[in-house]
Amino acid sequence: MKKLCLPLLLLPACAMAQVSIESPKGGWRNSAGSEEQYSQTVNYPASAVNMQQGQAETAQIRGKIAGANKNKPGRLIVNGVAMPIQLQEDGRFARPYSFGTGSNSVEVRSPDGKSRARTQFYDGYTGKTKSRLRVVLSWDSPGTDVDLHVVTPNGGHSWYGNRILPDGSGLDVDVTTGYGPEIYSSPAPAKGNYHVYVNYYGGNSEQQVITVATVSIITNENTPSEKQQTFQVPLRAAGELTLVKSFVFP
């Protein structure tokens, strides 16, 4: 039987999850001199996407979804790109993120999508490193490990066993417990052919037979020539390696 809200005259309204964003703050800022690290350490095995110690406030997405279902992730949307965000027992969330110069927006939604909060800010620091190519992997099941692999034109292969490449690009964290996201980014992508793969490393088949991976590819983020592409790939068996997209940059 569904639980129904009764009129206010009889009982208080049913409580809804309340979303709050602590970082980033809205408005104008200049992140010059901030301790922002372009790549993050890997905590393995990871229970969630953990914030690296010493990461500046300007490179964090942090807040709380009070009263949310902790068994499901919240929804994070950064500059139009959606991804899940894992909640702790108390509803708190934290995510490292390398924001670019200019206007940026962050929206967080409760697991049921009924409550949300949004902030927008402008970073005036023109000398900061920003991503010109970003690949975001997420998936729809808990207790599963899906890995992102990116092969670059110069033969580089970024994955959890070789996260940082000589050209400065890299994968930020390795999420092993479900949902993701894992994010590859590059400040100066080489011209040529890129290949994006996902590897269904392992999962709990008793919970969900098929895991659906979502991959978003963003080029020239926060510029007039920005382009976003999103692909969904069903994964059925552990060990499955799938080519999601081959493309040419720029």
Q: How confident is the model at residue 209 (pLDDT cuts 50, 70, 90)?
A: confident
Lowest mean per-residue pLDDT among 3-12, 156-165, 197-206: 3-12
Whether the CB-CB separation of 94 and 62 falls below 8 Å is answered with yes
Q: 153 or 236, which is more confident? A: 153
Q: Residue 70 carries which DSSP code?
A: T
Q: CA-to-CA distance for 184 and 249, rounded, in angstroms?
A: 15
Mean pLDDT confidence for 191-215 = 86
pTM score of the predicted model: 0.87
Q: Which residue's entry shows tokens 């095995």? A: 45
Half-sphere exposure of 55 (CA within 13 A, CB side): 23
Whether the CB-CB separation of 131 and 172 falls below 8 Å is answered with no
- Residue 234 pairs with which residues in a beta bridge? 212
Count of CB atoms situated within 10 Å of the CB of 170: 20
Half-sphere exposure of 211 (CA within 13 A, CB side): 33
30 has pLDDT over 50: yes
Could you give the C-alpha distances from 198 to 63, 156, 214, in angstroms and in order?
A: 29, 16, 10
45 has pLDDT over 50: no
Query: How much is the pLDDT for 10?
Result: 44
Half-sphere exposure of 139 (CA within 13 A, CB side): 29
Element of type H or E holding 240 = strand 240-249
Count of CB atoms situated within 10 Å of the CB of 40: 23
Lowest mean per-residue pLDDT among 35-44, 56-65, 144-153: 35-44
Query: How much is the pLDDT for 12?
Result: 46
8 has pLDDT over 50: no
Using one digit for the tens of pLDDT, what is the confidence trace for 146-199? 999 999 999 999 999 999 999 989 998 778 888 989 999 999 999 999 999 999
Options 2.60.120.10, 3.40.50.300, 2.10.10.100, 2.60.40.10; CATH of 18-249? 2.60.40.10
Nearest to 68 by CA among 108, 96, 13, 95: 108
Residues in the chain, total? 250
Q: What is the residue extent of each domain of the chain?
A: 18-249
